[in-house]
């Protein structure tokens, strides 16, 4: 049997001394897509920040295993090298750093960690062009400062572009679909579906069923007040859609 | 301290690229005061780069003695340990129609002490003077200190003068974002610091040469 790609056990996490996650258990097998839904302030972004290793978040109890490794012992960059990718709910602006040099540094850092030579300039540019075309990002974005002056939708598209560049094993999409027009939503869905493989998984945090129409989730979780209160299949999305979160 | 005088060539009313110079202070170099007489129509562009391991105490004096002259004065520093850097500038606008633009920017780590004391004097009658001064700093440690003391003495009424100072720290959010893409923490800091200095770097005559030296300097203090 396939063992878990990700195994979260009894996870408690706090930020600024305040406990937000009160015991999360979650197992994801290779190839699975999990949706996480829940009301505002439930702790969804906190969970994704903890998975990506945001230093301000402290895990007070519990464990996380990723591909059999102790994820909590790894730095954010090590997690990225191991194949974790977080699409930020609110992508960060990096003034003075172009998308090209940002991605080049990112890709070559991973290669260095794997003992590989930096990617040749021409190969890197080819990869950039290919992935930018895939997310329908205009070529002039390559020179722009990361997320600076981007519209909300452009920022999300840039997240999916980075995801496509880094080819992660576990993609965590934190409300990547919020604020997107229909076309952009389809691009996000295509981005996730393109990465689908028997060995890769995704966690999709969303408030809407729309994205889940394009990316069929295997498992749906309801996260409420720092706990997973319900786990099931696609039918949960319909319950939320008609009855909200009160019934959970 | 040894004095150092640079005479800015005069060329009547013609605008000339009178002086464009970058001084780089490396460990072991001794800081020299700089005095400049900016004569009519001259264009002066001076950059002072202070690398890690350098303690310096120096004064830059600029006298505008002829109309229509301009000055750009940039100071870039990177301190990573216990350096003491003190830079004073005294810019005297004695005559009308001159422009001075000063920027002092850098990164202070370790227990370094950095001070920038910029005096602008606009003499009576020096109308249409434009004199600007700003100081932008990043503190890498709690024990580093940066102080900025602007001093404006303005005796003419038709002038534009301003000054401003900021002292910030590295953005945790930017660092985490970069690290989440696989950029190691130290490299993420280097990227952020270089981009902080880039507005001044970009205006240098040979930005690449200075940039690579600064980048190496920044890398050395970040990885400490
Ligand atoms: N840095 C912080 N300091 C204090 N409280 C925080 C911090 N970060 C998050 N919280 C709190 O933790 C709780 C969970 O926040 P989180 O962002 O994880 O919610 P969410 O489920 O992602 O909500 P949304 O659907 O609105 O994005 C909220 O009550 C929030 O105010
Ligand atoms: Mg959120």
> What pLDDT score was predicted for residue B116?
97
CATH node for A32-53+75-247: 3.40.50.300
> What pLDDT score was predicted for residue B97?
98
Higher pLDDT, A16 or A248: A16
Identify which of A153, A203, A214 has the alpha carbon closest to the alpha carbon of residue A178. A153
Task: For B194, name the nearest residue in chain A, comparing CA atoms only.
Answer: A96
Domains contained in chain B, number: 1
Cα separation, A66 vs A177, in Å, equals: 25
Mean pLDDT of chain B: 88
In a domain, B203, yes or no: no
> What pLDDT score was predicted for residue B9?
37
In a domain, B184, yes or no: no
Cβ of A45 below 6 Å from ligand 1:
yes
A203 CA from centroid of ligand 2 (Å):
13
Which pTM value belongs to this model? 0.89
> What pLDDT score was predicted for residue B18?
66
Which residue range forms the structural domain that includes residue B96? 13-169
Select the residue from B183, B199, B203, B211 to test the A interface by mutation, using most A Cβ atoms within 10 A: B183
A106/B181 CB distance under 8 A: yes
Among residues of chain A, what percentage have pLDDT more than 70? 99
Ligand 1 pocket mutation pick from A45, A49, A224 by most atoms within 8 angstroms of CB: A45
B182/A166 CB distance under 8 A: yes
Q: What is the mean pLDDT of residues B84-105?
A: 97
Task: For A161, name the nearest residue in chain B, comparing CA atoms only.
Answer: B181
Cβ(B150)–Cβ(B118) under 8 Å?
yes
Residue B11 pLDDT > 80: no
Residue A23 pLDDT > 70: yes
Give the DSSP letter string of A135-180.
TT--GGGGGSEETTT--HHHHHHHHHHHHHHH--SEEEEESTTTT-
A45 CA from centroid of ligand 2 (Å):
4
Q: Where are the domains positioned within chain A?
A: 32-53+75-247
> What pLDDT score was predicted for residue B137?
97
Q: Which atom of ligand 1 approaches the CA of A16 most closely?
A: 3
A37 CA from centroid of ligand 1 (Å):
14
Residue B13 pLDDT > 70: no
In a domain, B23, yes or no: yes
In a domain, B89, yes or no: yes
Q: What is the mean pLDDT of residues A224-243?
A: 94
Cβ(B87)–Cβ(B116) under 8 Å?
yes
Confidence of residue B208 (pLDDT cuts 50, 70, 90): confident
Strand-strand pairing, A84-87 and A94-98: unpaired
Residue B203 pLDDT > 90: no
SS3 B169: coil
Give A128-176 pLDDT, tens digit per residue. 999 999 999 999 999 999 999 999 999 999 999 999 999 999 999 999 9
In a domain, B62, yes or no: yes
> What pLDDT score was predicted for residue B181?
98
Give A188-197 pLDDT, tens digit per residue. 999 899 888 9
Residue A48 pLDDT > 60: yes
Task: For A166, name the nearest residue in chain B, comparing CA atoms only.
Answer: B181
Angle between helix A182-195 and A121-134 (nearest 10): 130
């Amino acid at each position: 049997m396939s063992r878990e790609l990700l195994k979260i056990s009894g996870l408690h996490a706090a930020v600024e001394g305040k406990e937000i996650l009160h015991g999360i258990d979650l197992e994801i097998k290779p190839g699975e897509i999990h949706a996480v839904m829940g009301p505002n302030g439930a702790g969804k972004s906190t969970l994704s920040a903890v998975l990506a290793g945001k230093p301000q978040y402290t895990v007070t109890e519990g464990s996380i295993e990723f591909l059999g490794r102790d994820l909590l012992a790894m730095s954010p960059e090590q997690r990225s090298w191991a194949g974790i990718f977080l699409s930020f709910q609110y992508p960060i602006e990096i003034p003075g750093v172009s998308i090209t040099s940002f991605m080049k540094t990112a890709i070559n850092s991973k290669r260095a960690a794997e003992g590989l030579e930096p990617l040749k300039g021409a190969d890197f540019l080819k990869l950039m062009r290919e992935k930018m075309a895939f997310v329908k990002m205009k070529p002039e974005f390559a020179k722009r400062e990361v997320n600076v002056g981007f519209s909300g939708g452009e920022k999300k598209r840039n997240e999916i572009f980075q995801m496509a560049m880094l080819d992660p094993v576990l993609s965590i999409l934190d409300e990547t679909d919020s604020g997107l027009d229909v076309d952009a939503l389809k691009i996000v869905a295509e981005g996730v579906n393109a990465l689908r493989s028997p060995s890769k998984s995704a966690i999709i945090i969303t408030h809407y069923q729309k994205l889940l129409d394009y990316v069929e989730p295997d498992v749906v979780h309801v996260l409420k007040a720092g706990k997973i209160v319900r786990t099931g299949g696609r039918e949960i999305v319909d319950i939320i859609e008609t009855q909200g979160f009160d019934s959970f | 301290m040894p004095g150092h005088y640079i005479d800015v060539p005069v060329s009547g009313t013609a605008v000339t690229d009178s002086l464009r110079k970058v001084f780089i202070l490396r460990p072991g170099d001794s800081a020299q005061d700089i005095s400049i007489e900016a004569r009519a129509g001259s264009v002066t562009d001076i950059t002072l780069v202070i690398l890690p391991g350098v303690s310096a105490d120096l004064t830059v004096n600029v006298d505008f003695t002829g109309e229509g002259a301009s000055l750009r004065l940039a100071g870039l520093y990177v301190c990573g340990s216990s350096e003491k850097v003190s830079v004073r500038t005294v810019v005297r606008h004695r005559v009308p129609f001159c422009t001075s633009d000063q920027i002092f920017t850098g990164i202070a780590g370790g227990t370094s002490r950095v001070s920038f004391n910029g005096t602008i004097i606009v003499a009576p009658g020096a109308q249409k003077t434009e004199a600007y001064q700003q100081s932008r700093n990043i503190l890498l440690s709690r024990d580093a200190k940066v102080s900025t003391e602007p001093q404006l003495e303005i005796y003419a009424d038709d002038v534009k003068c301003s000054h401003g100072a900021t002292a910030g720290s590295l953005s945790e959010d930017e660092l985490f974002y970069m690290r989440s893409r696989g950029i190691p923490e130290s490299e993420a800091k280097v990227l952020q610091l270089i981009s902080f200095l880039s507005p001044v770097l970009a205006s240098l005559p040979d930005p690449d040469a200075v940039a690579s030296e600064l980048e190496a300097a920044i890398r050395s203090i970040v990885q400490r």
